[in-house]
Amino acid sequence: MIQRITHLLKLIQVLRERGNWPLIRHSRRQLIDFILCREGMGKRSLPAALLHGCRLLDGLEVIVWRLETFGFLFPPEISEEQKQRLNRYL
């Protein structure tokens, strides 16, 4: 349980440091649907989605990888110029 709390705090820190905030603001509904497992093949009820999220917090790397894959997090080695180029179509 303590590990999940520390992973949640680390996830918040990663979001503050590397979060793609223009995309998050633009696609807020999509991010909420992603977190609550409302779309796609993995649709879940709210309690099942919360349990799934709790289990995902056991491995922080998986959540960070998924957020990077969908563009909600920038890779760690990206420059400001590249960030602006990625978001120019928003």
How confident is the model over 47-82, as pLDDT tens digits? 888 888 778 778 888 888 888 888 889 988 888 898
Specify the pTM: 0.75
- Torsion 25-45-37-62 (CA) sign: positive
Confidence of residue 22 (pLDDT cuts 50, 70, 90): very high
CA distance 23 to 70: 10
Say if CB 10 and CB 64 are below 8 A apart: no
Say if CB 58 and CB 5 are below 8 A apart: no
- CA–CA distances in Å: residue 58 to residues 2, 33, 52, 86: 10, 21, 10, 30
